Structure 1
Amino acid sequence: MLAKSMETMMPESLADRRIPAGDDFLPPDAVAAITPDVLIARMAALKPLVASKAASAERDRRPDDEVWAALRQSGYFYLYVPRRFGGLEFDPDTYISATLPIAEACPSTGWTACFAAEHNWLIAQMPEATQAEVWGRTPYVIAPSAAAPPGVATPVEGGFRLSGRWKWGTCVMHADWIMLNALEPVAGGAPVVRMMLMRAEDVRVIDTWQMAGMAATGSNDIAVDDLFIPEGHQFAVQPVRSGRGNGRAIHGPGLYGSPMLPNLCVTAAIPALGAARQAVMLCRDRLRAHVKLGSTTTSVEKPAGQMRLARADLLARSAERTIRAAARENLLIGEIDEPEQTGERIRIRAEIAIAVQQCVEAVRTCCEAVGSSVHALDNPMQRLLRDVQVMQSHIVYDLDVATELHGRALVGLAPNSLLL
């Protein structure tokens, strides 16, 4: 049972619906037998189930439990757990390819699942003893990583006392662990940003997720009141931003030595790409049957319909190339020293922001091509549109911020944002 207070206790309806990960993990030999092709095929096979539950997941404002159980049984959540701790440690291209079928079927579920998988990368930035403890207790984590607004971490003997309330708790409805950013005050200097790790039963989940899009993510608020965090259950964020954290020291360069923010940007872009790809498929099928009022032929025979479909397809393909290239390149820029690396991280962020804009445009173009029926609540197209519009509002995809940062870097000015 989660801790409660009279002021902001989690409503019983939400408490009843928060399902911790449980203990139905795969045997080690079953995990070892999973290849990239096997995992991708399993996720493709799950697409019809995910699609069949998308509408009810949106109504319930959380990922569907049957879908979540199927994802667990597929081995998907082992993607970014290091091999030395029993995981798959697959490359970013496999991560993208395995996630896309889920994101196509339900972008909200794809969003929650891919963040749950990617957040194991953050566990790999914890001290080695903590990694062994965490992955010894649960062979992968289901954990939100909430950064804003940051809490306060007060140093005490053996660790910190943590308090705060955080928004955007993606994964919290199935969480076993929680990661929260906090500021450690420093006398006479800037505070140190630290990521704190705790068990899900030690936080309060507050029912706030009432959204026009991405409703099925269940990204409710999280609150902590004066919780003790051991020294080993946290890391300073700054070194991890440039790929110089515990991940590199323990696991070497490459995946766990890559910069943090581009990894986040890639993760959050995959569901938008899935929505764009699915919109193209649904638009193509709809054009074959759609006859506009006053017309005697299907829209697929009209040049306007063909051009809209082609434009949407090309936008989605262009976005996918950008996202995949950024994921591969991020494995390499961890080897670049500062200050040059900061400019590369800024550029990758801006490139992915433009790719997400292309995904949104692809979905809008498809919706405009197929008539008013696309906005019926039983039509999945309207859910794709609402989901990508909310995804687009994520701070890492704010084009004004991303392009200003890149422009400043191009003319030799220092960044004017801490989100790098």
Structure 2
Amino acid sequence: MADYEDATTPSVPDRAELVGRAAALRDQLWEAADEADRQRRLPEKTIAALTGAGLMRLMTPRRLGGYQADARTVLEVAIEIGRGCCSSGWITGVVNAGNFVVSLFPEQAQNDVWKDNPDARTALVLGRPVTDIEPAADGVVVTGRWPYASGCLHAEWMGGLVLISDGPGKPLVHFALMPMEELTVEDSWHFAGMRGTGSNTVVADRVFVPRHRLLPYLPVLHGETDGVVDPGNPYRNSLTGVFSIGLIGSVIGGADAAFRYVREQASHRPVAGSTYANQAASPMFQVDLAEAAAKIETARLLGVSITDRIDHCAAASVNPDLVARARSRMESTHVTQLCREALDLLLTAYGSSAFAESNPLQRIWRDVNVGSRHAGFGMGIPQQVYGRALVGQNPRDISLLV
């Protein structure tokens, strides 16, 4: 475990154990992936398996029954799960990121979530904040909608952004932590890929949020939370990095699953219109396979590099500077681009039957193409953010997600 582990904390599984648990579920997740795609949500048996393996409590505080694992562990777990089902890897990553944010709330809020259930899951949305807020005694009353809420179908809690006034001056964005039983879910997730994530719209209709379940957003985002949250939390400086880890892990896992499938099928698939005995005998197939393998391995190594920097800063209680933060966002984006490029090579090498509805490759292709275009990775913003930081200008003039 990481250097910050206290000898008095309960024994928790190490990285190898947790990654092994995820790998042991791969075949089960692979079998259930088609059902998740058709139903536009993860099957309950999948959620039960992931929860039973402890993979929904990776970032939950140890004092409340969680593992408080490092970022490298979250990445490697998400990769293994993504090898079985991209949507399952995505949900696991988002839920653990949501739990990470809850770990930054006051102790009373953490107890609300985990005191009676260490496996409690939190969906998280970092989109536009809701503005229909009414002040109330010891809290606020919230009315609004949060689209693209991955994990909302399987979470007990929801963390959404709201714009409220904490006194005189400009209103500030806060996380509002709300129980899902007080919210409704609008069935709005009709997408070509990552269908199993069920990333629907969550709706609040005059939901009361007590003050202890409101947390200022920017200090958390910027890693400036000393005195706001538990200073002993080793990952208090890493929201942007932690949030992307599970997402890129899912995409890497999906790309690797496609690579393994194409390679395994090569020895008995023909090369149409040629004299080659099979695809494995074709030099062009070999070239495409090699190119795809290199892209996927490069993506994995970049992901590991990102997590190792997060873990190093967390263990040293160092807040990464803006260049380091912008670099992580840029590299996360590059990870997803590499995986998308690898999928294109693999499906071309396999042939047009990869797009048959009965072929798992087309599902993975859809999942990776949608996942790699998440707002955090798209529109050229990560490149602009990193470039601005590299020339000594403030990248937050372009995006706060740094």
TM (norm. structure 1) is 0.87
2:70 & 2:309 partners in 1: Cα distance? 12
Out of 143, 147, 152, which is 1:167 matched to? 147
Out of 305, 329, 334, which is 2:285 matched to? 305
Out of 206, 212, 215, which is 1:235 matched to? 215
1:347 counterpart SS class:
helix
Cα deviation, 1:112-148, whole Å, max 9, x if unaligned, reads 1221223211111101222123210321322211232
- How many angstroms does 1:253 deviate by? 5.6
Q: Find the counterpart in structure 2 of residue 379 from structure 1.
A: 359
- How many angstroms does 1:32 deviate by? 4.5
Long gaps (5+) in structure 2: 1-9
Q: Find the counterpart in structure 1 of residue 40 from structure 2.
A: 61
Out of 387, 390, 393, which is 1:407 matched to? 387
Contact kept? 2:59, 2:100, Cα under 8 Å: yes
Cα deviation, 1:62-109, whole Å, max 9, x if unaligned, reads 001111111111111121112122211222222222222221111011
Bigger fraction of residues in helix: 1
Q: Is 1:418 equivalent to 2:397 in the alignment? A: no
Corresponding letter in the other structure for 1:200:
M
Contact kept? 1:147, 1:182, Cα under 8 Å: no
Q: Find the counterpart in structure 2 of residue 50 from structure 1.
A: 29
Q: Find the counterpart in structure 2 of residue 19 from structure 1.
A: none
Change (3 A) 1:253 1:208: closer
- How many angstroms does 1:331 deviate by? 3.2
1:44 & 1:351 partners in 2: Cα distance? 25
Contact kept? 1:350, 1:399, Cα under 8 Å: no
- How many angstroms does 1:391 deviate by? 0.8
Corresponding letter in the other structure for 1:345:
R
Q: Find the counterpart in structure 2 of residue 344 from structure 1.
A: 324
Question: Structure 1 stretch 158-167 or stretch 90-99: which is displaced more?
Answer: 90-99
Aligned residues: 387
1:80 counterpart SS class:
coil
Corresponding letter in the other structure for 2:103:
A
Corresponding letter in the other structure for 2:300:
E
Contact kept? 2:143, 2:205, Cα under 8 Å: yes
Long gaps (5+) in structure 1: 1-30
Cα deviation, 1:156-192, whole Å, max 9, x if unaligned, reads 3311121111101111111211111111157885431
2:41 counterpart SS class:
coil
Q: Find the counterpart in structure 1 of residue 260 from structure 2.
A: 281
Cα deviation, 1:249-282, whole Å, max 9, x if unaligned, reads 425263x223211111222111110111111101
1:348 counterpart SS class:
helix
Q: Is 1:116 equivalent to 2:98 in the alignment? A: no
- How many angstroms does 1:41 deviate by? 1.9
Change (3 A) 1:272 1:32: same
Change (3 A) 1:105 1:175: same
Corresponding letter in the other structure for 2:98:
H
Q: Is 1:71 equivalent to 2:53 in the alignment? A: no
2:94 counterpart SS class:
helix
Q: How does 1:21-420 map to 2 (within 5 A)?
A: 32=11, 34-152=13-131, 153-185=133-165, 189-245=169-225, 249-250=229-230, 252=232, 254=234, 256-296=235-275, 297-333=277-313, 335-336=317-318, 341-398=321-378, 400-415=380-395, 416-420=398-402
Q: CA RMSD in A?
A: 2.0
- Give the share of equivalent positions with the same residue, in percent: 29
- How many angstroms does 1:404 deviate by? 0.9
- How many angstroms does 1:247 deviate by? 9.4
1:345 & 1:33 partners in 2: Cα distance? 29
Contact kept? 2:299, 2:335, Cα under 8 Å: yes
- How many angstroms does 1:244 deviate by? 2.7
Change (3 A) 1:77 1:186: closer
- How many angstroms does 1:333 deviate by? 4.4
1:387 & 1:85 partners in 2: Cα distance? 34
2:361 counterpart SS class:
helix
1:326 counterpart SS class:
helix
1:33 & 1:351 partners in 2: Cα distance? 30
Cα deviation, 1:287-310, whole Å, max 9, x if unaligned, reads 222212222321111111111111
Question: Structure 1 stretch 352-361 or stretch 391-400: which is displaced more?
Answer: 391-400
1:253 & 1:56 partners in 2: Cα distance? 38
2:67 counterpart SS class:
coil
Question: Structure 1 stretch 213-222 or stretch 33-42: which is displaced more?
Answer: 33-42
2:115 & 2:227 partners in 1: Cα distance? 17
1:397 counterpart SS class:
coil
1:402 & 1:311 partners in 2: Cα distance? 25
Contact kept? 2:71, 2:310, Cα under 8 Å: no
Corresponding letter in the other structure for 2:378:
D
